[in-house]
Amino acid sequence: MVGLETVRLVGDAGEVSTTTAPFAEVASSNAALRAFLHGLPGVDRVGADARAAMLGTRSIKTTAKAKAIDLAISMVDLTTLEGADTPGKVRAMCAKAVHPDPTDPSVPRVAAVCVYPDLVATAVRALDGSGVKVASVATAFPSGRSSLDVKVADTALAVAAGAAEIDMVIDRGAFLSGDYLKVFEEITAIKAACGPAGGAQEGEHSAHLKVILETGELATYDNVRRASWLAMLAGADFIKTSTGKVQPAATLPVTLVMLEAVRDFRLRTGRVVGVKPAGGIRTTKDAIKYLVLVNETAGADWLTPDLFRLGASTLLNDLLMQRQKMATGRYAGPDYFTLD
Amino acid sequence: MSERLAVRKTYKLFIGGAFPRSESGRSYAVTSSKGDFLANAAKASRKDARDAVAAARKAFPGWSSATPYNRGQILYRVAEMLEGRRAQFVAEVVDADGVTAKKAGELVDAAVDRLVWYAGWSDKIGAIRGAANPVAGPYFNLSTVEPTGVVAVVAPPTGPLLGLVSVIAPVIVTGNTCVVVASERAPLPSITLAEVLATSDLPGGVVNILTGSAGEIAPWLAGHMDVNAVDLTGADADVAVRCEELAAENLKRVLRPPLDRIDWLADPGTDRMTAFLETKTVWHPIGV
Amino acid sequence: MFEYAPAPESREIVDIKPSYGLFIGGEWVDSQGENHHKTINPASEEVLAEVAWATEADVDRAVRAARAAFTTWSALPGSERAKYIFRIARIIQERSRELAVLETLDNGKPIRESRDVDLPLVAAHFFYYAGWADKLRYAGFGRRTTDGHSGEDPRPLGVAGQVIPWNFPLLMLAWKIAPALACGNTVVLKPAETTPLTALAFADICRQADLPPGVVNIVTGAGETGAALVNHPGVDKVAFTGSTEVGRMIARSVAGTGKRLSLELGGKAANIVFEDAPLDQAVEGIVNGIFFNQGHVCCAGSRLLVQESVADEVLDALKRRLSTLRLGDPMDKNTDIGAINSAAQLAKIRELAEAGVNEGAERWSPACPIPERGFWFPPTVFTGVAQSHRIAREEIFGPVLSVLTFRTPAEAVEKANNTPYGLSAGIWTEKGSRILWMADRLRAGVVWANTFNRFDPTSPFGGYKESGYGREGGRHGLEAYLAV
């Protein structure tokens, strides 16, 4: 377990730091962070909505649609985050993740499964050698309302159990009250807890950190942009829209704003951060709209499971049904796809 | 004992708040309705028209951005000053129109009342001509009125005071500035009105008055590329057509001469104001 | 790379006849002249149909038909007129996909725009003005009598002669015809010579709606037909949308006739971006401002005024964004930039772009394959433009943006207003008080703040100065068609 004392603010030589050099001073104080985040260009909500809606009218057909469906399947973080989750449920989901359509081996596997920390070990065993990663939510998911010690311990538990990816939540209360430094420090602490010193299995790299902004609680696109930058500055490997427990979850315009953030962050720092919309993405049509959004906002570089994920559960079956329709020309029925 | 010899007034032009003679040095004899000599009036030239337009343009930014409350008060002040010179105007109207003193008194009173009426419009015309437009989308959408700019006005040949006031007041109350070509036959009340304007807190250049030949001066104004609109109320038919053609060059707004004789005592309505107003519509998104 | 496969809209939905006559008095009639003209698809140069070029005699016939219809149409109760116009609105909605395809074929604009912008606005415009037809007495026009009682209901003007441009053929028809009919006028409308087909389809809609014969008459043709219409002594009202040059000619020819005139002319709008703008949306607004409809928009934001402190950042973002624009087949649902409407317009755009280079501005276009057939011009940005350059002063009416910089709000206002035009302007800043300060000082009829190129039937549209006079849309739009 990583103690708080080992995490220092960015800029302290020799300490854990992933913040990129051009912004070394940004997190030197709450005031500096505030000045930076509030100096980012504003987001006009109506304009962002209109842009996302226009991109939603793109017509992706025939060969482009076939490729988009396979790409979307390979980007799915197949998720179960219920109080009623059991090892059996998780094992079944893992089987589906590796072979989404048992009758068709040409269907790609999904990117990852996403579970609670206590079920990570089950998932790791079920997916051993499959190439499908195990992601775990952590940090008192979904509300994030606990002490930093508990959050770090929660993370360490998941990492120790073999999670390759950690989906943490930010402290929205701290963010909304203007305590950006607290949010920043929590992220850096969790980032440290993801590292090899935190107990990742020998020979493995540190767990990738996805930072959930819970955009449905941030309320404004300006806040989404600020939270995106805050998370990236603190070392996030991915920024993720939602827990799935709050409405609205992922939306196209929120994802647009986050894609603009990762695009601009790369321009200014050279570091590439991924994006994961999660929650509410149920249909192939929805998924393809997100791919178009990525393509025309951040650019084609992001069209890989390494940098874009779709957090979803029911989406996968719709993708499979559409895939089968494209292959056979017949509309598919839900009885022909597994419900795991 | 001989009667005291009166000190006569020299009637000059009114440009930029000053009273210059015509740059051309020309003047013409003005007679009463009975044919008696009254005075020599300045006969404005093309260059006087040009100077008047320059003065009106210079005055436009300040006058158009003055608060409507302020403009209303200034027009009301003009009415006060006009009332104070009632006797002088009555005498001039009697001379010019050959009406009885009683009738002239009614006309002067009507001119004062007309100014008061228009003064009250300054902060109300926007309310009846603007609009909050309910567009089908997340946008705030507001239409407001703004003055057109510099307006050239050909004053009516009759009604040397009431007609004149009735064409000037609606133009300036909304924030336009103007160059007025006074009645050629009866120009003297216009210069006396200029003296009223000059002492009424009205900024110099808001109203500029030229006396002389409308047929000569109006086309220069109608063709001037820094004039935004023309009011041809007092123009003869042929001059009006010529002016309307010239006005096309920079798409001036044109208020054509009336088809029928105007009853200056009737309720004027809002048309003379709205003819020289632009509608500006501003959009802004509504979002958090 | 995520390549989008072609997604062409089907043209099966439209049935274009090989040739069209004139629509006069509710009937299709042949022109009395011999002059016919082929209308082509500017994206392929394929001939779509042949249309008559109406002669003076044809125009006379149309004006007489409109005059004959005026008596009964103007005497109909407003509520009855309203129902006809509502019917038209509904038929447009029912046939909107067909009309969108037809518009795209004849005009060259992307199907996405004709489908998502033009047609919804066309239907909305008829729907809006339909509702006015029986409420004119409440519109605030017409003089009140001295005793304070309302006078008569405002009266229509009579026969309206309407001449419209090729950039939004059906939308401009709607802007002209809907308020005219609502107020009780009858119309003779001349569509642009290169885009007559949707107006001719509209004639069929009038028939489907059982609109009384002669209320709407469509005469096709070029400038001579338009001149015959404008100058016809039987026309009481002239409405024109098009170039300032032609507008000037019309204003001159109408002088002394007593005909009422409304003009919606050219523009050279400034789109002003401050350093505190919502930059991503500003970039979208710049793109929408000048590349919407290939820049064939009178209110296009053709002059970008960007604050010097963010000029590089904005230009980099703009260029990156322009590289994602998809130019090509207008019938492809993913096309952003369609074809230039005609060879003549393409020549004009080329000439002005070359003038820009010759005057020393720096020209930039994204890498963008141009189809072999048809009329095309790539999205183009000129930087280093001075106010004195032709590309900063003349309306190009094409996908060409001139970029200038400013340092202070006052300088932005001064540069924005330094033009004989005054149709529209854009302001991008997150500071509310500055928006209002700027909006107050910009001499333009439409000011878009933190947005651009938005239209609505309830919102008055029209220009200051040489951009014309009169307003279309909203209550204001009635005034052009009422004896007030």
Residue C376: CATH number of its domain: 3.40.309.10
Residue C430 banded pLDDT, cuts 50, 70, 90: very high
Residue A254 banded pLDDT, cuts 50, 70, 90: very high
Domain count, chain C: 2
| Per-position DSSP letters for A117-170, written without gaps between them | GGGHHHHHHHHTTTS-EEEEEESSTTTT-S-HHHHHHHHHHHHHTT-SEEEEE-
Helix (H) or strand (E) segment spanning residue C105: helix C96-107
CB contact under 8 A, B288 and A49: no
C-alpha A206/C-alpha A196 separation (Å) is: 5
Radius of gyration, alpha carbons of chain A: 19
Residue A340 banded pLDDT, cuts 50, 70, 90: confident
Chain A window 229-268: which residues touch C at a Cβ cutoff of 8 Å? 260
Q: What HEC string does A202-254 produce?
A: CCCCCCEEEEECCHHHHCCHHHHHHHHHHHHHCCCCEEECCCCCCCCCCCHHH
How do residues B184-202 score in pLDDT, each as one tens digit? 999 999 999 999 999 999 9
C-alpha A254/C-alpha A122 separation (Å) is: 33
How do residues B121-144 score in pLDDT, each as one tens digit? 999 999 999 999 999 999 999 999
What's the gap in Å between the CA of A295 and the closest CA on chain C?
7
C456 Cβ under 8 Å from any chain B Cβ: yes
Question: What ipTM, to 2 d.p.?
Answer: 0.96
Judge whether residue C366 has pLDDT over 50: yes
Strands lying side by side in the sheet with C27-29 = C27-29, C22-24, C216-218, C186-190, C159-163, C237-241, C260-264, C468-469
C231 Cβ under 8 Å from any chain B Cβ: no
DSSP state at residue C284: H
* Residue B171 CA: distances (Å) to CA of A3, B64, B178, B230, C360: 78, 11, 7, 10, 44
Q: Could you tell me how many residues make up chain C? A: 484
The answer to whether residue C10 is domain-embedded is no
Q: For residue A113, is it left (φ>0), alpha (ψ between -120 and 50) or beta?
A: beta
Task: For residue C187, give the 3-state DSSP assignment.
Answer: strand
Report the CATH superfamily, name and number, of domain B27-285.
Answer: Aldehyde Dehydrogenase; Chain A, domain 1 (3.40.605.10)
Radius of gyration, alpha carbons of chain B: 20
Are C278 and C417 found together in one domain?
yes
**Among C251, C446, C474, whose Cβ lies nearest the Cβ of B248?**
C251
Count the Cβ atoms, other than its own, within 10 Å of residue C202: 26
| Residues facing C47 on adjacent strands | C40
CB contact under 8 A, A59 and C116: no
Judge whether residue A13 has pLDDT over 60: no
The answer to whether residue C2 is domain-embedded is no
Q: Is C298 a catalytic residue?
A: yes
Rounding to the nearest 10 degrees, give the CA dihedral for residues A143, A147, A153, A157: -10
C181 Cβ under 8 Å from any chain B Cβ: no
CB contact under 8 A, B279 and C247: no
CB contact under 8 A, A220 and B285: no
How do residues A75-102 score in pLDDT, each as one tens digit? 999 999 999 999 999 999 999 999 999 9
Are C172 and C230 found together in one domain?
yes
Contact residues, chain C, for A259 at CB < 8 Å: none
Residue A4 banded pLDDT, cuts 50, 70, 90: very low
| pLDDT score for C302 | 98
| pLDDT score for A332 | 87
Contact residues, chain C, for B281 at CB < 8 Å: 445-447, 459-461
Q: What is the mean pLDDT of residues C88-111?
A: 98
Residue A22 banded pLDDT, cuts 50, 70, 90: confident
Query: Which other chains touch chain B, taking contact as 3+ CB pairs less than 8 Å apart?
Result: A, C
Reported pTM: 0.95
| Per-position DSSP letters for C65-103, written without gaps between them | HHHHHHHHHHHS-HHHHHHHHHHHHHHHHHTHHHHHHHH
C-alpha C467/C-alpha C268 separation (Å) is: 9
Are C407 and C475 found together in one domain?
no
Percent of chain A with pLDDT over 70: 91
Are C241 and C274 found together in one domain?
no
CB contact under 8 A, A50 and C280: no
The answer to whether residue C459 is domain-embedded is no
Are C180 and C252 found together in one domain?
yes
C-alpha C103/C-alpha C95 separation (Å) is: 12
- Going from the N-terminus, what domains does chain A have, and what CATH number goes with each? 29-332 (3.20.20.70)
Are C412 and C472 found together in one domain?
no
| pLDDT score for A15 | 41
Are C471 and C440 found together in one domain?
no
What's the gap in Å between the CA of B264 and the closest CA on chain C?
13
How do residues C309-362 score in pLDDT, each as one tens digit? 999 999 999 999 999 999 999 999 999 999 999 999 999 999 999 999 999 999
Residue A339 banded pLDDT, cuts 50, 70, 90: confident
Q: What is the mean pLDDT of residues A206-235?
A: 97
Contact residues, chain B, for C460 at CB < 8 Å: 131, 133, 143, 279, 281
**Among B136, B278, B282, whose Cβ lies nearest the Cβ of C449?**
B282
Are C287 and C198 found together in one domain?
no
| pLDDT score for A9 | 36
Judge whether residue A241 has pLDDT over 80: yes
Contact residues, chain A, for C366 at CB < 8 Å: none
Q: Which of B18, B16, B20, B127 has its CA nearest to residue B62?
A: B16
Domain ranges of chain B: 27-285
For residue C426, the enclosing domain spans: 270-449
**Among B139, B251, B279, whose Cβ lies nearest the Cβ of C465?**
B251
| pLDDT score for A40 | 97
Contact criterion met (CB below 8 Å) for B181 and B234? yes
Are C433 and C291 found together in one domain?
yes
Nearest CA in chain C to B246: C252
CB contact under 8 A, C449 and B284: yes
What's the gap in Å between the CA of A47 and the closest CA on chain C?
6
Q: Are strands C446-449 and C424-428 parallel, antiparallel or unpaired?
A: parallel
B139 Cβ under 8 Å from any chain A Cβ: yes
| pLDDT score for C150 | 53
Q: Are strands C22-24 and C155-156 parallel, antiparallel or unpaired?
A: unpaired
C131 Cβ under 8 Å from any chain A Cβ: no
C-alpha B99/C-alpha A93 separation (Å) is: 104
How do residues C265-282 score in pLDDT, each as one tens digit? 999 999 999 999 999 999
Q: Which residue has the tokens 């003209």?
A: C37
Percent of chain C with pLDDT over 90: 96
Q: What is the mean pLDDT of residues B50-60?
A: 98
Chain-wide mean pLDDT for chain A?
A: 91
Helix (H) or strand (E) segment spanning residue C314: helix C311-322
CATH of the domain at C112: 3.40.605.10
Among the listed residues C193, C264, C466, C472, the single catalytic one is: C264
Percent of chain B with pLDDT over 70: 100
Contact residues, chain C, for A296 at CB < 8 Å: 324
The answer to whether residue C278 is domain-embedded is yes
| pLDDT score for A21 | 62
Are C337 and C408 found together in one domain?
yes
Q: What is the mean pLDDT of residues A280-301?
A: 97
Are C229 and C371 found together in one domain?
no
CB contact under 8 A, A219 and B285: no
Contacts of C205 (CB under 8 A, 6+ apart): C88, C91, C92, C95
B285 Cβ under 8 Å from any chain A Cβ: yes
A128 Cβ under 8 Å from any chain C Cβ: no
Are C207 and C135 found together in one domain?
yes
